[in-house]
Amino acid sequence: MKKKVVLVQDNKEVLEIMDQVLDEEGFEVTSSLTTEPIEKIDQIEPDVVVIDDHIQGSKKGSKVIKELKSDPETEGIPAVLTSTSAQLPKLAEESKADDYIQKPFDLDHMVDVVKRNSENEE
């Protein structure tokens, strides 16, 4: 069965590239420029969530992860924060993210991080 990824990014090109690469790697990707898929997370049941910290017209990715991690129903879903921010390691730690991807990123590294975190599911 395919591993499911919820992918939320603020940049359409970045979103499309990540979506395509993860799809080629065998993931089932739900991608969005908004946090809408997070609201349907119990229906999607992703193996990992990858979210950018800056989502236009929406709350920050770090806040979304913090909320997921503080909800007993979603706290077990691995969450990866992405950002260009130099504060990313700190943001990821504060939001209880399982991992982070600094932008701009290497596609192989991004795939490795997503694979590593999607396998952490109990």
CATH number at residue 31: 3.40.50.2300
pTM score of the predicted model: 0.95
Give me the domain span that covers residue 101: 4-118
Span 54-104, pLDDT tens digits = 998 888 999 999 999 999 999 999 999 999 999 999 999 999 999 999 999
pLDDT of residue 24: 98
pLDDT of residue 120: 61
Q: Which two tokens stand for residue 26?
A: 């065998």
Residue 10 has pLDDT above 50, yes or no: yes
pLDDT of residue 2: 94
What's the chain's average pLDDT?
A: 95
Q: Which letter, b or e, does each residue of 91-101 get, where b requires 16 or more Cβ atoms within 10 Å of its Cβ? A: bbeebebbbbb
**pLDDT band for position 20 (50/70/90)?**
very high
**pLDDT band for position 122 (50/70/90)?**
very low
pLDDT of residue 16: 98
pLDDT of residue 115: 97
Measured distance between the N- and C-terminal CA atoms of the chain, rounded to whole angstroms: 15
Q: What's the number of domains the chain is made of?
A: 1
Instruction: Select from 31, 39, 40, 25 the least CA-distant residue to 12.
Output: 31
